[in-house]
Amino acid sequence: MTKNIAVIRGDGIGPEIVAEALKVLDKVGEIFGHTFNYTDVDMGGCAIDKYGDPLPESELQKCLKSDSVLLGAVGGEKWNNVPGDKRPEKGLLRLRAGMGVYSNNRPAKIWKQLSDASPLRKEIVEKGIDFIIVRELIGGIYFGEHKTVDDTATDVLSYSESEIERIGRIGFETARKRNKKLCSVEKSNVLDSSRLWKKVMHRLAEEYTDVELSDMLVDNCAMQIVKNPAQFDVIVTENMFGDILSDEASMITGSIGMIPSSSLGATSCGLYEPIHGSAPDIAGKNIANPIGTILSAAMMLRYSFDMGKEADAIENAVSAFLDADLRTADIMSEGKTQVGCSECGEFIAKNLKRE
Ligand code: NAD
């Protein structure tokens, strides 16, 4: 298979971590017989320096013509004082809008080798934590009307059936590619929008008979994520609930440097990026952890290119890195050997195997 990938290296540690993900993708191509073509795209601070714009139309078009987009991170102090509409983050918002992505998907996974890094008790972690939160990204209360009249402020939360259906389908499709369990999270005991949410999810379940659907109230879900996270495979929820739950879920896994994400819309062209920022404090020192970006590339293979075996191979090579007691600085602990960003990427690429 040949796939064209738009590559946004961005700012800070972005270029370093993306370089390692490309090493790993190249190795996947070599052993599984695929060709990955890369097109460099300038976005963020580097694009402001070059064009005076965080994402010029020509750069956006390169992304839209690709099969998927891999992003490092953007932003940094240098651009903190540029006007609001020219800030690096504006590039990211324009990219998301241009790609029409309406779901953000974040895995919460604890690697058994890093279980000590979790703030949860050992016996909870030992049951295994490996789930994804699929969050609706462009609707709900963040996008409803906001107004303040006299001493009263109002924010409107509304969802249409079609908005719920399209995110619901991403939830079901994601579950299909995993362990076929989908938990729909809402507040249907109080909110009309949640009752509609629940109704649409159950209508969709009749189509996805291979996926087991369950319902959970959001307050209970917040508790269950710390009490018994092993019960979850895929959680699908609306924008604000997902915002809060996905931050909670990333905390229980330990290191911010290890977590990938995807943003998907109606087409298979997705945006894949680690959840962390451009970490200017450690940029250029070869100490960043590239695993969040490498795992983002693995998600791209699984969810946009239908290359499940190739994604498994990357995840197994990450596990081999941790099994070898090698660690980047952010996940370093006693008795382990510290390696740099490039050594980490090289090890993972070298240890990729076709099962
Ligand atoms: P950050 O995620 O960049 O860094 C927070 C802390 O985590 C820092 O101490 C950093 O060194 C560490 N860290 C982050 N990623 C790491 C990695 N891969 N390996 C090791 N350590 C890592 O958050 P911040 O400091 O709040 O933001 C820095 C810049 O990034 C800001 O300009 C912000 O606007 C931008 N940002 C960009 C994105 C994005 O591009 N999607 C997301 C968040 C923040």
Active-site entry in 11, 67, 233, 243: 243
CA of 277 to the centre of ligand 1 (A): 3
Which of these, 165, 174, 96, 163, lies nearest to 134 by C-alpha position?
174
Strands 181-186 and 234-237: parallel
Asked if residue 196 lies in contact with residue 161, where contact means CB atoms within 8 angstroms, the answer is yes
User: Separation of 12 CA from ligand 1 center, angstroms?
Assistant: 9
Nearest protein CA to atom 34 of ligand 1, as residue:
75
- Is 247 among the catalytic positions? yes
Q: Is 187 part of the annotated catalytic residue set?
A: yes
Per-residue pLDDT of 251-295, as tens digits, reads: 898 788 999 999 999 999 999 999 999 999 999 999 999 999 999
* Mutate which of 43, 276, 295, 330 for ligand 1 pocket (most atoms within 8 A of beta carbon): 276
278 Cβ below 6 A of ligand 1: yes
Helix, strand, coil share of the chain (percent; to 5): 50, 20, 30
Predicted structure pTM score: 0.92
Q: Which DSSP state fits 184?
A: E
CB 258 within 8 A of CB 322: no
Q: Where are the alpha helices (DSSP H) in 131-233?
A: 161-176, 192-205, 218-227
Q: Is the pLDDT of residue 70 over 90?
A: yes
Amino acid at 58: S
Could you confirm whether 330 is annotated as catalytic? no
Q: Which atom of ligand 1 lies closest to the CA of 77?
A: 32
Q: Which of 217, 228, 140, 144 is nearest to 183 (CA)?
A: 217
CA distance 94 to 92: 5
* φ, ψ dihedrals at 156, nearest 5°: -95, 130
**74 C-alpha to ligand 1 centroid (Å):** 9
Instruction: State which ligand 1 atom lies nearest to the alpha carbon of 293.
Output: 18
CATH 3.40.718.10 residue ranges for the chain: 1-103+256-355, 119-252
Q: Where does the pLDDT of residue 355 fall: very low under 50, low under 70, confident under 90, or very high at 90 and above?
A: confident
Topology (CATH level 3) of domain 119-252: Isopropylmalate Dehydrogenase (3.40.718)
| Residue 324 to residue 326: CA distance in whole angstroms | 5
- CA torsion, points 225, 208, 303, 322, in degrees to nearest 10? 40
Does ligand 1 lie within 6 Å of residue 74's CB atom? yes
| Whether the CB of 288 sits within 6 Å of ligand 1 | yes
Residue pLDDT, tens place only, 77-100: 999 888 877 899 899 989 998 999
Q: What share of the chain has pLDDT > 90, as a percent?
A: 92
1-103+256-355, CATH topology level: Isopropylmalate Dehydrogenase (3.40.718)
Q: To 10 degrees, the CA torsion angle through 260, 197, 167, 253?
A: 10
Q: Which residue has the higher pLDDT, 105 or 83?
A: 105
User: Can you state the angle between helices 291-299 and 308-323, rounded to 10 degrees?
Assistant: 160
For residue 17, report the phi and psi dihedrals to the nearest 5 degrees.
Answer: -75, -35
